[in-house]
Amino acid sequence: MPTSTSTKAITGKPRANRAKIWFLVHSWMAMPIWAFVFFICLTGTIATVSQEIVWLADPASRANPPAQAGNLLSFDEIVAVVNEGHPEAIIQSISRPVKSQFALTARISYPDTTTRTLYINPYTGVIQGESSRFDFRQFVRGLHGWLLMPWTNGYSWGWYLVSITAVPMLISLITGLVVYKRFWRGFLSPRLRFNVNARVLWGDFHRLAGIWSIPFIAIISITSIWFLLQGILQDNQVSFSTAGAPIYVDRADVPQLSSNSQTPPFISLDEATAAVETAFPDFQASFVSMPGNAYAHYRIGGRSVSYPLLFENVSVNPYNAKIEQTRRISDLSWLEIITGSMRPLHTGDFVGLSLKLVYFFFGILLTLMVFSGMMIWSKRTFRDTAAVLRERKIKQQPNKQMDSQIPTYALNEGESA
């Protein structure tokens, strides 16, 4: 019986050691995942205020109102400014600043197919500068959204790699609430111990940041999971849109061009926007897209007054100002409203700077929470790894000593061992 027990102990211990080693290997393999999630949270936090960073870094993007600021320029006045400063350019779209501190932007293209974005003072009409379409704001958003991987056939693989991290994030939130009993006490009596050791401090911070970030983590996780589903659905040609087939201007409305005319005789932008605002008094036009050809429409849009998470747009015949399609909140299905709300909920860009700063703060908190989890994990993994290596070294030393102490006996010829 003793022999059997000792055999089990001898054979059981190597198995336990092997299991510990495999667990440590598993823990080390988690390091790239931790680092990737940290990177996604960090770039997402920066992307939240990327427009404001551009405003700080580039004076041309600022509104710079004069001492006695008058009314904002009309769309026709903006067109005149661009045509005077860049007569060879084709205007693609004009966007008024949602926030008063930003200059308005006009996207233009040239005959050689290059494109630029012009920053125009919305009060004086001065073209203050220009930038490429792929500026710092687009770079950070692309880095966070799809890791700048190419979009070759459908959604980028980077899109899926980023959005799939929301699944473990949501599971971590749920399991964290289950593991941390009476988590609501963290709101009433928060604890952050600086006078113990680094591991205790990081542990307290991880729990405290998690508690205060519960709504934010839930919003970011759920909206990111929707982005994952969105890619899968659209790559499989599944759509929730009720817009129907694209519309075009009726051929009878397109006038015959004279031999000297190079552009169709479109009505002015101010006429088109006036027609929309007359039909819908609560509509506030903030951007316009120019017709790309003789059969395309003016597309005039603005943020919904009743539901600011979404933009509304109206298609206007560029020859007679007739409204030929509307995509307002009342025209959308409930599924379109929900899915369309996912992106503004994810970015916080639908109220103003105050909400974006709230998102930025909780983004920093979430990033530090991931970092604190990394610190807790790394300290435990380093400690356990060092313990295993130390144990193996101790086990090897007695074996070497025993080998050196075993006497050797010369056997006489004919003796058996």
Span 159-177, pLDDT tens digits: 999 999 999 889 888 888 8
Q: What is the pLDDT of residue 260?
A: 66
Same domain, 359 and 328: no
Same domain, 223 and 359: yes
DSSP 255: P
Same domain, 186 and 321: no
Range with lowest mean pLDDT among 58-67, 198-207, 379-388: 379-388
Task: Count structural domains, the chain.
Answer: 2
Q: What is the pLDDT of residue 399?
A: 57
pLDDT in tens, 102-118: 999 999 999 998 999 99
Tell whether the model's pLDDT for residue 416 goes beyond 50: no
Average pLDDT over residues 14-40: 72
Same domain, 174 and 305: no
The H or E element that residue 75 is part of is helix 75-85
Tell whether the model's pLDDT for residue 126 goes beyond 90: yes
Range with lowest mean pLDDT among 24-28, 90-94, 99-103, 286-290: 24-28
Same domain, 217 and 276: no
Q: What is the pLDDT of residue 319?
A: 96
Range with lowest mean pLDDT among 39-43, 200-204, 300-304, 354-358: 200-204
Same domain, 154 and 279: no
47 falls within a domain = no
Give Cα 71 distance to the centre of its chain. 35
Q: What is the pLDDT of residue 18?
A: 67
Helix (H) and strand (E) counts for the chain? 14, 8
Same domain, 223 and 272: no
Same domain, 229 and 375: yes
Q: Model-level pTM? A: 0.81
Alpha carbon of 363 to those of 45, 47, 144, 211: distances in Å? Answer: 5, 10, 13, 14
How many angstroms separate the CA atoms of 302 and 96, rounded?
10
Question: What is the amino acid identity at position 310?
Answer: L
Buried b (16+ CB within 10 A) or exposed e, 401-416: eeeeeeeeeeeeeeee
Same domain, 159 and 293: no
How many angstroms separate the CA atoms of 376 and 382, rounded?
10
Per the structure, the complete domain to which residue 193 belongs is given by: 149-237+354-389
Confidence of residue 203 (pLDDT cuts 50, 70, 90): confident
How many angstroms separate the CA atoms of 26 and 377, rounded?
12
| Position with higher pLDDT, 398 vs 345 | 345
233 falls within a domain = yes
Range with lowest mean pLDDT among 5-14, 40-49, 182-191, 299-308: 5-14
Angle at 155 between CA 150 and CA 158, to 5 degrees: 55
Neighbours of 400 (CB within 10 A): 9
59 falls within a domain = no
How many angstroms separate the CA atoms of 217 and 342, rounded?
14
How many angstroms separate the CA atoms of 417 and 405, rounded?
19
| Position with higher pLDDT, 213 vs 97 | 213
325 falls within a domain = yes
Q: What is the pLDDT of residue 52?
A: 93
Same domain, 365 and 325: no
Report the mean per-residue pLDDT for the chain.
85
Neighbours of 53 (CB within 10 A): 15
Same domain, 161 and 228: yes
Confidence of residue 19 (pLDDT cuts 50, 70, 90): low
Name, in order, each residue with C-beta under 8 angstroms of 184's C-beta and a sequence gap of 6 or more.
Answer: 211
Q: What is the pLDDT of residue 317?
A: 97
pLDDT in tens, 294-326: 999 999 999 999 999 999 999 999 999 999 999
Confidence of residue 402 (pLDDT cuts 50, 70, 90): low
Name, in order, each residue with C-beta under 8 angstroms of 126's C-beta and a sequence gap of 6 or more.
Answer: 120
| Position with higher pLDDT, 156 vs 101 | 156
